A and B are shown apart, each in its own frame.
Chain A
Amino acid sequence: GNSVTQMEGPVTLSEEAFLTINCTYTATGYPSLFWYVQYPGEGLQLLLKATKADDKGSNKGFEATYRKETTSFHLEKGSVQVSDSAVYFCALSRDQFYFGTGTSLTVIP
C-alpha cells in the first residue's frame, strides 16, 4: 500500500539554525512527492514538490530530494526564520494523496 512516515514533533529551533524534517514513504509504482506548509488557522499550501527520482524540489530556501533508493524526501533549510514557524506535512500522490501526520516547527528569535 501507500503511506508516509514523518518525523514526530514538535521541533523548536533558534533563528538561523539548520532544519531537517525526515520523511519516508511506501508506495506502489512511482509517486510524486510533496511538502505542504500550514500556518495557524489556514489551509495547506504547497511548499515544494518532486515528480521523479533524483528530482530536487526547492522554494523559499527549503529543499527536498526524491531518493528512490532510500524511499525518502527529507525537508531541509539552511537558516530558519521566525516566519517559518508552522506545521509541515509530507505527502505522496498516486490514486489519492497520502499525508504524514505533520511536524510542528517553532523558531525562536
Chain B
Amino acid sequence: DGGITQSPKYLFRKEGQNVTLSCEQNLNHDAMYWYRQDPGQGLRLIYYSQIVNDFQKGDIAEGYSVSREKKESFPLTVTSAQKNPTAFYLCASSRTSGGINTGELFFGEGSRLTVL
C-alpha cells in the first residue's frame, strides 16, 4: 500500500540534543512538507520541498533543518536552537504540476517529540 511512514512515533530528547525525524513516502509525490502541531492548535508549516535538492522555509523554520536528497525522503532535524521543541510533528506529501498542487495532501501518522 502506498503511503507516508514517519518514525519514530514517540521520541524523548534531553535539552541541548539534536534529533532527526524520518519521513518516507512511496506515492511518487514531488512535494513534501513538515508541520508542527501544538495541543489544541492548528498546523504550522516548518519547511516544504517541491523538488529534490530544493526546499523552502515555512512560517516557523527557526531551530529546524531539512534535506531532500531523494524524492521519497524528507527528514527533519530539530536542533538545540529550537527553544520549545515539544510538539506533534506531521509529515505530508502531494502531487504538483508547475508548482501548483494538483491533489490532496497525504499525511503520515505523526511523531510526538518530548523534551525532558
In the complex, how many residues of chain A place their beta carbon closer than 8 angstroms to a beta carbon of chain B? 22
A67 to B107, alpha carbons, bound, how many Å?
26
In the complex, how many residues of chain B place their beta carbon closer than 8 angstroms to a beta carbon of chain A? 23
Q: Which residues of B contact A102 (CB under 8 A)?
A: 41-42
- Is B104 interfacial (CB-CB < 8 Å)? yes
- Is A25 interfacial (CB-CB < 8 Å)? no
Residue pair B90, A43 in contact (C-beta under 8 Å)? yes
Specify the chain A residue showing the minimal Cβ separation from B31: A96
- Is A32 interfacial (CB-CB < 8 Å)? yes
- Is A44 interfacial (CB-CB < 8 Å)? yes
- Is A73 interfacial (CB-CB < 8 Å)? no
Residue pair A45, B104 in contact (C-beta under 8 Å)? no
Residue pair A49, B90 in contact (C-beta under 8 Å)? no
Q: Which residues of B contact A44 (CB under 8 A)?
A: 43, 90, 92, 105, 107
The distance from the CB of B38 to the nearest CB of chain A, in whole angstroms, is 11
Encode A79-109 as 1/0 by CB contact (under 8 A) with B. Answer: 0000000000101011111011110100000
